[in-house]
């Protein structure tokens, strides 16, 4: 029976009747069946469906374009709606070719590339406002790039929202806000999207092969990809021909070029790149790590670092402020060190300027304190001090024979009378023993009867004081008498007390 053999009135009544029934019958079924029926009516009659009508139960065939919508509605009712997730396939059956059948990494990248806003809780703007509360222009650029309406794209189907959640859980993110500029990036399954309020109007895909790793520090970003090492920074370091590195890279197969880099370390304005044949660096204070170079002319060039013959490191420790950095390179059990030594903080027995790496006379597992004037090294089950002695170290009695301002040029063991489980040192010195936490702040020495896991500074009524957090998350203020701790307000910032296992001195 064709649509021409049925009266328009019969078709009209039947469509309206089924539409009315669908409002109730399909309420719990995915797929907007009532809208499909409305569109079928509109295409067949060229007008909107009226809201008052008679009730019929069967629909004669319609015009072809209208019939297609009706057939789709019937299919959803009889076979269920097309699913974007948890699709059960029969033997030999394949998923349909559709966007929602792509893996979640591809779905996430398609939505991101299409302008979807992944920041559902406005964290980017919130962090930028905390760092630069008065920079309204920057805040507005973030709002323009990450609009509320663009969040809706993630809710078009379950697969889209699932992909967003997985990307947040398993992906990487990085953000810094400084000097009126906010940079933010997200990476998931090798796809990197960047937002820089100085350059981008939206989250923008980095034009490079899928990244294996991204190393970031402020304005510098280095990505390892199978095809190329990708570098992004406002003033990119030039890459002069480094014969050993270039030869090794040329020997690698296509799409295996990531193997030219084994590790990357970036601290502020310094970048070290480890390769299987040599280590190169660029940035500030390069004269301490490479053969003598003209600092102002060549500070943005990568140069091979100066190490003993045959030394090819497989690990790097790189900490400290720009002008007091300490770097330790390891090749198996052998270690070399360089950096700022103006106060003897390298523990080498002198305070001479460095012009390359030298063998380290003691084994370092971790540099505990990235400070200007001194270092504390974790060496197996000991802590060694080197550099200018600060007041809390002198006050503690852990370094006998040294007063505030003295220079301890040779790395010397801190003398703890009992086993130490945690350690922290900057303006304050803190160490944790069994059931107690000890603090020297340069003025007083306290001991409280619990094991702190973090320390913070709280300011109340123009008074600054140290606060502790224990393993349960409870916050405490250290009393002036050094007796029982009391509850306090949440500090402005926290620093973790580093877990260690230090033997008592002389054991």
Q: What is the pLDDT of residues 64-86, one digit of tens each?
A: 888 888 787 777 776 666 666 66
Our measurement of the distance from residue 397's CA atom to the centroid of its chain's CA atoms, rounded to an integer in Å, reads 40
Name the nearest CA neighbour of 264 among 305, 214, 323, 210: 214
Task: Say what percent of the chain tops pLDDT 70.
Answer: 86
Half-sphere exposure of 41 (CA within 13 A, CB side): 25
**Confidence bin at 241 (pLDDT 50/70/90):** low
Question: Could you give the C-alpha distances from 210 to 109, 189, 229, 263, in angstroms and in order?
Answer: 11, 8, 11, 18
State the first-to-last Cα distance of the chain, in angstroms, to the nearest integer: 100
Q: pTM for this structure?
A: 0.71
Name the nearest CA neighbour of 141 among 181, 94, 84, 105: 181
Stronger pLDDT, 442 or 191, i.e. the higher one: 191
Domains and CATH numbers, the chain: 3-79 (no CATH), 95-207 (no CATH), 239-415 (2.130.10.30), 417-502 (no CATH)
Q: Name beta bridge partners: 263.
A: 274
**For range 455-470, the mean pLDDT:** 76
Q: How far apart are CA 72 and CA 157, in angstroms?
A: 18
Residue 460 has a pLDDT of: 67
Name the nearest CA neighbour of 371 among 388, 354, 358: 388
Residue 485 has a pLDDT of: 60
Half-sphere exposure of 324 (CA within 13 A, CB side): 16
**For range 94-103, the mean pLDDT:** 80
Residue 213 has a pLDDT of: 86
Stronger pLDDT, 484 or 107, i.e. the higher one: 107
**For range 192-220, the mean pLDDT:** 89
Q: How far apart are CA 281 and CA 239, in angstroms?
A: 10
**Confidence bin at 110 (pLDDT 50/70/90):** very high
Q: How far apart are CA 132 and CA 177, in angstroms?
A: 7
Task: Say what percent of the chain tops pLDDT 90.
Answer: 47
Sheet containing strand 407-413, edge to edge, reads 366-367, 374-379, 382-388, 407-413
Close Cβ partners of 21 (under 8 Å, ≥ 6 residues apart):
57
**Confidence bin at 186 (pLDDT 50/70/90):** very high
Close Cβ partners of 432 (under 8 Å, ≥ 6 residues apart):
420, 421, 422, 423, 438, 451, 452, 497
Residue 360 has a pLDDT of: 97
Render pLDDT for 153-171 as a digit per residue (tens, 0 to 9): 999 988 999 999 999 999 9
Render pLDDT for 315-368 as a digit per residue (tens, 0 to 9): 999 998 767 899 999 999 999 999 999 999 999 999 999 999 999 999 999 999
CA dihedral sign, ordered 460, 466, 470, 476: negative
Q: Name beta bridge partners: 217.
A: 220
């Amino acid at each position: 029976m064709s649509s021409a053999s049925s009266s328009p009135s019969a078709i009209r009544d039947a469509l309206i009747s089924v539409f009315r029934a669908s409002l109730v019958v399909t309420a719990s079924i995915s797929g907007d069946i009532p809208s499909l029926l409305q569109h079928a009516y509109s295409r067949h009659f060229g007008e909107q469906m009226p809201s008052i009508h008679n009730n019929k139960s069967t629909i004669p065939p319609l015009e072809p374009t209208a019939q297609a919508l009706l057939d789709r509605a019937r299919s959803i009712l009889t076979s269920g709606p097309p699913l974007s997730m948890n699709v059960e396939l029969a033997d030999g059956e394949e998923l349909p070719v559709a966007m929602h059948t792509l893996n979640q990494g591809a779905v996430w990248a398609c939505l991101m590339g299409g302008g979807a806003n992944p920041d559902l809780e406005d964290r980017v703007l919130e962090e930028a406002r905390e760092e630069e509360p008065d920079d309204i222009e920057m805040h507005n650029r973030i709002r323009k790039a990450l609009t509320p309406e663009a969040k809706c794209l993630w809710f078009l189907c379950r697969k889209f929202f699932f992909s967003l959640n997985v990307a947040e859980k398993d992906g990487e993110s990085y953000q810094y806000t400084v000097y009126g500029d906010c940079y933010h990036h997200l990476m998931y399954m090798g796809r990197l999207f960047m937002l820089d309020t100085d350059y981008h109007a939206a989250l923008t895909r980095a034009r490079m092969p899928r990244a294996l790793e991204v190393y970031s520090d402020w304005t510098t970003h280095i990505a390892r990809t199978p095809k190329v090492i990708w570098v992004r920074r406002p003033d990119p370091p030039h890459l002069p021909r480094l014969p050993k590195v270039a030869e090794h890279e040329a020997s690698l197969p296509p799409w295996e070029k990531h193997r030219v880099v084994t590790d990357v370390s970036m601290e502020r304005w310094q970048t070290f790149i480890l390769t299987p044949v040599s280590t190169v660096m660029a940035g500030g204070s390069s004269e301490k790590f490479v053969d003598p170079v003209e600092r102002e002319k060549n500070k943005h060039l990568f140069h091979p670092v100066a190490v003993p013959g045959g030394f090819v490191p497989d690990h790097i420790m790189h900490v400290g402020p720009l002008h007091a950095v300490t770097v330790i390179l390891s090749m198996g059990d052998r270690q070399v060190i360089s950096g700022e030594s103006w106060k003897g903080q390298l523990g080498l027995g002198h305070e001479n300027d460095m012009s390359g790496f030298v063998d380290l006379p003691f084994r370092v597992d971790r540099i505990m304190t990235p400070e200007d004037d001194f270092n504390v090294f974790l060496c197996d089950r000991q802590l060694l001090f080197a550099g200018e002695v600060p007041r809390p170290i002198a006050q503690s009695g852990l370094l006998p024979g040294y007063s505030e301002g003295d220079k301890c040029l040779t790395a010397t063991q801190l003398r703890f009378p009992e086993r130490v489980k945690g350690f922290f040192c900057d303006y304050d010195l803190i160490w944790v023993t069994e059931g107690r936490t000890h603090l020297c702040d340069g003025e007083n020495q306290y001991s409280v009867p619990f094991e702190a896991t973090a320390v913070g500074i709280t300011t109340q009524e123009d008074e600054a004081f140290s606060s502790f957090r224990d393993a349960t998350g409870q916050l405490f203020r250290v009393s002036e008498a050094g007796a029982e701790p009391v509850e306090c307000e949440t500090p402005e910032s926290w620093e973790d007390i580093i877990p260690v296992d230090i033997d008592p001195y002389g054991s």
